[in-house]
Amino acid sequence: MTKLIAERTHNYGTRRLRAGDEYEATDMHASLLVANLMARYAPSSPSSDELDRLRAEAEALGVRVDRRWGDIRLRHEIMQARTER
């Protein structure tokens, strides 16, 4: 599950969300909602272990990782790599 913040009013599941509401969505739905500008990823403060794990996962999927990328960009690149397979 991925934490999101609604950018616009929309429905997700059985909830009616307004701009600014925080909620969780499946990884697939999260990437679609973000791509359609209905939501944005909620900010998080990942540990360095989490970033290392995300970098390793992205590299295993064939993504060329930039060390400046944060967890949001890494998760996005991983989701793109998974859908392109």
Average pLDDT by stretches of 10, the chain with 85 residues: 93 94 93 94 80 95 92 93 88
Q: Hey, where are the domains in the chain?
A: 2-41, 48-84
pLDDT recorded at residue 45: 64
Helix (H) or strand (E) holding 16: strand 15-17
Amino acid letter, residue 10: H
| pTM value surpassing 0.85 | no
Report d(CA 54, CA 69) in Å as an integer.
10
CB 8 within 8 A of CB 19: yes
Q: What is the pLDDT of residue 47?
A: 77
Q: Which two tokens stand for residue 78?
A: 């991983």
Longest dimension (CA), the chain: 39
Give the pairing type, strands 39-41 and 2-6.
antiparallel
